[in-house]
A and B are shown apart, each in its own frame.
Chain A
Amino acid sequence: MDTSQGMSPVVDNNLTLPPIADAAAAPRIDCRNIKVFYGETQAIHDVSMSFPDRAVTALIGPSGCGKSTFLRCLNRMNDTIENCRVEGQILMDGENINDADVDPVLLRSRVGMVFQKPNPFPKSIYDNIAYGPRIHGLANGREDLDAIVEKSLRRAGLWDEVKDRLMAPGTGLSGGQQQRLCIARAIAVQPEVILMDEPCSALDPIATARIEELIDELRNRYCIVIVTHSMQQAARVSQRTAFFHLGNLVELGDTSQIFTNPREKRTEDYITGRFG
């Protein structure tokens, strides 16, 4: 697929896809009866869904529908929030990641995350990428680390722009470059899954297009879950789409089906702009 000419049209995207059915057969993550509570308030009601490997799943829905909360269950980031409680099973390689004996620190090295606002560390570009490999001991010596940094930056499509100033502070890059730096940083720890929480909401359309291209390239290697407010974005980058409303999973299906022929009335209302 040609990704050098800006955004790939939706049709093109769907044409090149492998059939979705085989992805459902071997899900990377399988969530069963997920409930999330903030104190007494229930934010997610009994959601069961699976995420195929080597495909992009988009979570869409109006603000406050619980899609970010659900995303954060997948790498147990909700653990860092005071009085947040998660119930249900999330199976990765047959293991429930909500089990008490699963170390969230190790889990997060397998499930990378990219946030809404670019959040590079106030360190150099190099150190931003090298941070993860260093704490997990992924590199044997300086040369190995250099190689990881270069590979990650290349995959994030940032290498050519920063290769001459790897020691410059990461906070000095533009917003779009910072977000690609954050993606590179997540890639550097060799995750199996990448979670993206509205990765383009703070970016201009051109930077957004670059990130979307990048997501499309990364799809070949990772299981990607993206939360987005932009239905066009969901249509452009994802193969599967899940529509959330008021903490419930309303509809889950192939992206083309959700956007052209939704089964649920609420889904249709939302994607045609009648609410949300």
Chain B
Amino acid sequence: MLQQLGQLPMGWLLIALIAVFGSAAFFLGRTRAERLLETSIGRMHSRPNYHGYYVAMCTVVPVLLIAVAYAIFADDLTRSQLTRELPSSFDRLSAPELQSYLDSVRMAAGTAASSGADRVFQAITNRYLELRGFVNAATLVLLGALAAIGIFWSQSRLRPDFRARALVENGMQLVLFLCAGVAIATTAGIVFSLLYESLLFFQKVSAWDFLTGTRWNAQTNAEFGALPLFFGTFMIALIAMLVAAPIGLFSAIFLSEYASPKARGWIKPVLEILAGIPTVVYGFFALLVVAPAVRQLAIWINELIIQVGLSSEPVLAAQPTSALAAGLVMGIMVIPFVSSLSDDVINAVPQTLRDAAYALGATKSETVKQVVVPAALPGIIAALLLAVSRAIGETMIVVMAAGKSARISMDPTSDLTTITVQIVSLMTGETGFDDPKTLSAFALGLVLFAVTLAFNVVALRVVKKYREKYD
């Protein structure tokens, strides 16, 4: 009996029960309220539906809590009881071995009796099913009892002047708050895990060496000097901004000041399509088109320099993947961030300022250069900062087109590596979570997070200050 209970598909059952209890409670509550409406003198405070929602709420919430608790604790509870009952011969197993043994027990329990296994395994599986059955039964009983209490207690509160509507409103508010809370809690959890794992890493490798060391060779030699990675990230972001800042800003000025409404109507969406292209597509564009072109150009420049006689050796590295290729493509990727945000802030500059300049006899470009852009400057700077933070965190393009050598080189045609590239290569493949190699990825992630967060915070503050000025 207990063994059969142990095989119940509890997930589906719980969902079905919640639905059944919830709708039953709703109809009971509403029916009762409708009866009250017939017998009561004067108006009810709330419509019958709200009484129904209220009863359903009082029923579903405790049931839901039990279901969540079951999902989190049921397996652990069963396992710990089973471990306690295991014969002493199991004591010599290490913790991971025991875990994997219990995992196979659980698997066998799930697929009904497995023939051909040894008797001890069979017995343990049966015991697991019994224990699990007990937990399942207890859960169902508790759930039924709570649902019944919920229905009867909440129904007994229904009166003509009962403020069901207000209570349901509060309930909705709570649900919305919890949803927002999930996002915040997740962010906090990510930050916490980044900090925690980074601290573990910094116990093995000194933070100073990590931040200032110039040799990075995490995969093989356990050398964790991250400076070349910071340099690579900085270099590629710089190249990207050299592309994106002028093109983005000038296109924003064109769109907001010069383009006719018709031209603006199709140019702006087309520019924003750039933001919708998956970065991996940019990545192979960088790898297959831009990187070879950059290499060709570098080779040509090398030959030119040698012919002219400025040098007898090739000056540029001209490697198949290069910082320049990745930076150029990344720059194109962030153009829409710069242009779209700058366009917004330039549009927010009051027309009266432009009129004032025109009325003084300023030409259009004088007005733009000396009045509109200076007035929009804080917002433009914020747009650039957001674009930088986007470029620093960008992964796919650099993974594909920037290369993997951690070095500090001012030559943009040599391959460089970035923080994000290293995190990808450290976290893919076989990894153990106590290995400094893996932990270093968290430390890199922490640095990345801190830098992009700082950029975003500064940018948002600047934007906010600027908004206040003109509203």
Contact = CB atoms under 8 A, between A and B. Distances in A.
Given A82-B261, A121-B353, A186-B359, 5 more contacts: A77-B355, A77-B359, A80-B358, A115-B355, A135-B370
Q: Which of B261, B357, B359, B371 has the most CB of A within 10 A?
A: B359
A61 interface: no
A131 B360 contact: yes
B361 A132 contact: yes
A109 to B, nearest CB: 4
Interface in A64-96: 75, 77, 80, 82
A110 to B, nearest CB: 8
B375 interface: yes
Interface residues of B, number: 21
Tell me what chain B mostly uses at the interface: helix, strand, loop, or mixed.
Answer: helix
B366 A135 contact: yes
A119 interface: yes
B356 A189 contact: no
Interface of B: 260-261, 350, 352-363, 366, 370-371, 374-375, 469
Contact of A105 (B260, B352, B361): B361
A115 B356 contact: yes
A108 B361 contact: yes
B360 A182 contact: no
Contacts of A240: none
A120 B361 CA distance: 15
12 contacts: A107-B361, A112-B359, A115-B359, A119-B352, A120-B356, A121-B356, A121-B371, A131-B357, A131-B370, A132-B362, A135-B362, A135-B370
A185 B360 contact: yes
A119 B353 contact: yes
Q: Which of B353, B356, B358 has the most CB of A within 10 A?
A: B356
B352 A135 contact: no
A19 interface: no
Q: Which of B261, B360, B363, B371 has the most CB of A within 10 A?
A: B360
A17 to B, nearest CB: 28
Nearest to A111: B359
B264 to A, nearest CB: 12
A105 B103 CA distance: 83
Contact of B359 (A106, A108, A120, A136): A108
A132 B350 contact: no
Nearest 4 CB-CB pairings of A with B: A109-B361, A113-B359, A119-B352, A108-B361
A276 interface: no
Contacts of B352: 115, 117, 119
A131 B374 CA distance: 13
A80 B353 contact: no
Given A77-B355, A121-B353, A182-B356, A136 B371 contact: no
Interface of A: 75, 77, 80, 82, 105-109, 112-113, 115, 117, 119-123, 131-132, 135-136, 171, 182, 185-186, 189
Contacts of B360: 108-109, 112, 131-132, 135, 185-186, 189
A29 B357 CA distance: 23
Contacts of A186: 359-360
A130 to B, nearest CB: 11
Contact of A108 (B260, B358, B374, B469): B358
Contacts of A117: 352
A115 B359 CA distance: 9
A13 B260 CA distance: 48
Contacts of A136: 361
Nearest to B370: A131
A105 B360 CA distance: 8
Contact of A135 (B261, B359, B361, B374): B361
Q: Which of A112, A132, A185 has the most CB of B within 10 A?
A: A132
A171 B361 CA distance: 21
Contact of A119 (B261, B355, B370, B374): B355
Q: Which of A123, A135, A182 has the most CB of B within 10 A?
A: A135
Contacts of B371: 121
Contacts of B374: 121-123
B375 to A, nearest CB: 5
A185 B361 CA distance: 12
Nearest to A112: B359
A56 B360 CA distance: 20
Contacts of B361: 105-109, 132, 135-136, 189
Contacts of A107: 361
A132 B361 CA distance: 7
A189 B358 CA distance: 13
A136 B361 CA distance: 8
Nearest to A117: B352
Contacts of B355: 77, 80, 113, 115, 119
Given A119-B350, A119-B352, A105 B359 contact: no
Given A77-B355, A115-B356, A182-B356, A122 B375 contact: yes
B375 A77 contact: no
B329 to A, nearest CB: 37
A129 to B, nearest CB: 10
A112 B352 CA distance: 15
A119 B355 CA distance: 9
A65 to B, nearest CB: 21
B358 A77 contact: yes
A77 B261 CA distance: 19
B229 to A, nearest CB: 41
Contacts of A77: 355, 358-359
Contacts of B363: 105
A80 B261 contact: no
A136 B370 CA distance: 14
Nearest to A188: B360
A185 B352 CA distance: 14
Contact of A121 (B261, B375, B469): B375
A121 B366 CA distance: 13
